[in-house]
Chain A
Amino acid sequence: MDFFDRFAIPHPSPVIYASMVAIALTLVAIVAGVTYTKKWGYLWREWLTTVDHKRIGMMYLISALLMLFRGGADAIMMRAQTALPENTLLDSQHYNEIFTTHGVVMIIFMAMAFIMALMNFVVPLQIGARDVAFPRLNALSFWLYFWGAMLFNISFVIGGSPDAGWTSYFPLAGNEFSQSVGTNYYMIAIQIAGLGTLITGINFIVTILKMRAPGMKLMKMPMFTWSALITNLIIVFAFPVLTVALAMGTIDRLFGGNFFTTTDGGMDMLWANLFWVWGHPEVYILILPAFGIYSEIIPTFARRNLYGYKSMVASIVLISVLSFVVWVHHFFTMGQGAMVNSIFSITTMAIAIPTGIKIFNWLFTLWKGKITITVPMLYSLGFIPIFTIGGVTGVMLGMSAADYQYHNTMFLVAHFHLVIIPGVVFAMLAGLTYWWPKMFGFMLNERIGKLSFWLISIGTCVAFFPMFISGLDGQARRMYTYSEATGFGIWNMISFVGAIMLAAGFVTIVYNIYYSTRYASRDISSDPWDARSLEWATHTPVPDYNFAITPQVNSSEAFWDSKKNGHKLFPGNYKEIHMPNNSGVPFIMSAIFFVLGFALVFSIWILAVIALLGIFACLAHRSFEQDHGYHIPVEEVKETEEKLGGARQ
């Protein structure tokens, strides 16, 4: 029995037991359902082994939406607990676990996955490519992310959740103060998912640099592709820092290392530094693709070219460079001295300049445009003012002397939610609605979509504006309760109402997906928004090979030119098309990573060694394997094209 004791929850409650039952039932239901409908073969052949960037994108999308609800459930519980003073809905330990998992799930497993979803689906289409440079690695990226997320999510029913905050500062996150295995989960699950992200980074840089359609020079790339390129460069340079930090944390926790301890020379501030050297670029990894999406949507629905293309590119590049030199602003109060703080204050505030340039460019694009208010456009328009508020308060936080007042209060919480929600969440929902018809062949309902928009945007303001006030009044973040005399009660109550609105907004999105799947017309054109870039130039649904003939590009809006100015986009005849083979190895190898992670979390060394050998076996298999893909013959291409409505001009 001793062996099994370690899997018990250190701090159980009825809710957790209920979730255990719920999870078990869901798993049984899924297995039974798939077996009953005899879909195992289909699932394996079409999804689990796929290397198609479009399907991988869709799997990221589904995972991201699931994680949104997991993180959202945490959020509602937090807001419910703090809605009233001295509330006892959650105790302090549960509250700690919930704000920790909320942060990690939302940033690493929701926002990142959502970005990967859209990047995967859109970027190869936008540059006129058949797939990414390394389709199989792409599948590996997804499955590593997926199994990393699974590992993290089982923590609350097996062994206990991490509870040291998404920033996991040491010494709090060390063995002395975090005795359950929770923080092991943090260190290892993020490591596994992070490996997947790094691989995506490499994959997409090569794809974008090498696989663009003929004629698409760098300065003719669509803005979303530009933002994806820069984002992936940041990923490649920032994620290894996290890798090292997490590995050190793991060594400290599992093997008694002394990196971040308070004895034997250990240095807790090293963790804070390494974490934020990754962490600040990470927030720009989140925001840049969002900027890219808005730069696609705003011109489409304002019926004008993007204003200031070159300055848009320059500002993304500048932001990416600056994002690496501001990390200290996350701990101005932790003892660097005035000189260092001042330098980092200046670099921090400097980021507002390129960001401001982008805001003005969007406004100038809208200026005199013929604006149609669609759901993607609504999100883009809502983003501008709300994000600006978040950004300006960021500049306030960036003044190191003033930050002594704001730091670790609800004011900070308000800041980052008001940049991340309009920045990332709005952009993802906008992108989702915008590219949905390309992905699934029907449009999402506009009326329900507008309802979601209003619920979410008003909900965001109602939930987070009050935190500026309570924060300035001194309400610390991450406190599970407060006394009535503080007067914070009213602000937190308003926040709770906002949170409910947000939740309602997300529910309407799911309802919209359900409703549109059932009722929306399947008879739509392949370019329903009258858009500008190449992804709209191919059929809907997109054939496996994306483009029957490689498009020929002459400007940054080649598709628009082909529609309006008679540019010939698809010259030449059909040729046979080379395609990569599916493979089960990425799925299997990532599943073994999950086993390895699980074994490490619980220090089951034999299992860890076996899993490690399994991973090496997969690598060896890959090394010896000869896989040259297959060819789609010309006749089949012709047939498919005709079935999808004829050749493209």
Chain B
Amino acid sequence: MKVDQTKPLEYSTEQNNLNILGFWMFLGAEIMLFATLFASYFTLEGRTGSGPSGSEIFEITPVIFETFILLTSSFTIGLGVHAMRLMNKKATIAFFSITLLLGLAFVGFEVVEFFTYIEEGAALQTSAFTSILLSTLGTHGAHVTFGLFWGLFILIQIKKRGITPETANKSFIFSLYWHFLDVVWIFIFSFVYLKGMM
């Protein structure tokens, strides 16, 4: 494996470069995925049938919490990548752990939110609006949940193998994923919750 010392560790090998570009392409596909969900959401938003509308079920407090938690986690993973570039293994592990814990808290809030919706009579089957609402939120939430496991695996690898070109590459890519989910959430926050509550 040829290691190029002039570049940050995560870019230092040929394969690492390919991986990062590949992941950007994947994010391109993810953008289309969420764009399709949003477009469908806007189309079906008003079609509530006999079920509740957004303004009837959305509650601002938990959403603010979720937003705050996820934004913070994006910040901490940024710090984690920074620590990784300084080859500080301990700090990297610490920041990644905080990120994952915040992610876990986010998922916890979201699960509670889902149960509340269902209790209030807004299930997947209730109307076109609830179908698309829960699918959009659920897709994002599933991504975060998947990320928890993925991040955990990487964390274990850093712990066992140290900061190597490989683990650095994985962590960096994971951070891209995490930031991306944050951006999606900002869209959800603005165009699903805020717009729906207005």
Residues of A within 8 A of B (CB): 133-134, 198, 201-203, 205-206, 209-211, 236-241, 243-245, 247-248, 251-252, 255-259, 261, 263-267, 270, 274, 277, 616, 620, 623-624, 626, 628
Contacts and interface: CB of A to CB of B under 8 A. Distances in A.
B132 interface: yes
A264 B43 contact: no
B1 interface: yes
Contacts of A255: 124-125
B33 A267 contact: no
Contacts of B127: 258, 264-265
A267 B42 CA distance: 12
B36 A244 contact: yes
B18 A206 contact: yes
A274 B29 contact: no
B97 interface: no
Nearest to B136: A244
Interface of A is mostly: helix
B197 interface: no
A264 B30 CA distance: 29
A240 B33 contact: yes
Interface string B19-53: 00110011011101100110010011001111100
A206 B21 contact: yes
- Interface pairs A-B: 3 shortest CB-CB: A265-B47, A264-B49, A265-B128
A255 B118 CA distance: 14
Nearest to B40: A270
Nearest to A132: B18
Contacts of A241: 32, 36
B130 to A, nearest CB: 8
B22 A203 contact: yes
Given A134-B22, A623-B153, A624-B153, A257 B28 contact: no
Nearest to B49: A264
Given A206-B21, A240-B29, A265-B127, A258 B49 contact: yes
Contacts of A209: 21
A293 to B, nearest CB: 24
A259 B33 CA distance: 16
Interface of B: 1, 17-18, 21-22, 25-26, 28-30, 32-33, 36-37, 40, 43-44, 47-51, 124-132, 135, 149-150, 153-154, 156-157, 166
A210 B126 CA distance: 48
A259 B44 contact: yes
Contacts of A134: 18, 22
Contacts of B43: 267, 270
A280 to B, nearest CB: 15
B75 to A, nearest CB: 25
Nearest to A252: B131
Given A202-B26, A236-B29, A620-B149, A256 B132 contact: no
A202 B126 CA distance: 37
Given A206-B18, A209-B21, A266-B47, A247 B135 contact: yes
Contacts of A263: 49
Contacts of B36: 240-241, 244-245, 274, 277
Contacts of B124: 251, 255-257
A209 B17 CA distance: 11
A547 to B, nearest CB: 16
Contacts of A277: 36
Given A241-B32, A265-B48, 17 more contacts: A134-B22, A202-B29, A205-B25, A206-B22, A206-B25, A209-B21, A238-B32, A240-B36, A251-B131, A256-B125, A258-B49, A264-B50, A265-B49, A266-B47, A266-B131, A267-B47, A626-B166
Contacts of A259: 40, 44, 128, 131-132
A258 B130 CA distance: 8
Nearest to B132: A259
Contacts of A198: 29
12 contacts: A240-B29, A240-B33, A247-B135, A264-B49, A264-B50, A264-B128, A267-B47, A270-B43, A274-B36, A277-B36, A623-B150, A623-B154
A266 B22 CA distance: 37
Contacts of A239: 29
- Give the most central of B25, B40, B124, B135: most A CB within 10 Å: B25
Contact of B149 (A201, A211, A616): A616
A474 B33 CA distance: 39
Nearest to B45: A265
B128 A258 contact: yes
Contacts of A206: 18, 21-22, 25
B51 A264 contact: yes
Contacts of B47: 265-267
Nearest to A239: B29
Contacts of B51: 264-265
Nearest to A199: B26
A635 B133 CA distance: 62
A266 B128 contact: yes
Nearest to A256: B125
A264 to B, nearest CB: 3
A80 to B, nearest CB: 40
A265 B129 contact: yes
A212 to B, nearest CB: 13
Contact of B126 (A236, A264, A623): A264
Contacts of A256: 124-125
A133 B14 CA distance: 10
A198 B33 CA distance: 12
A263 B39 CA distance: 20
Nearest to A255: B124
Contacts of B149: 616, 620
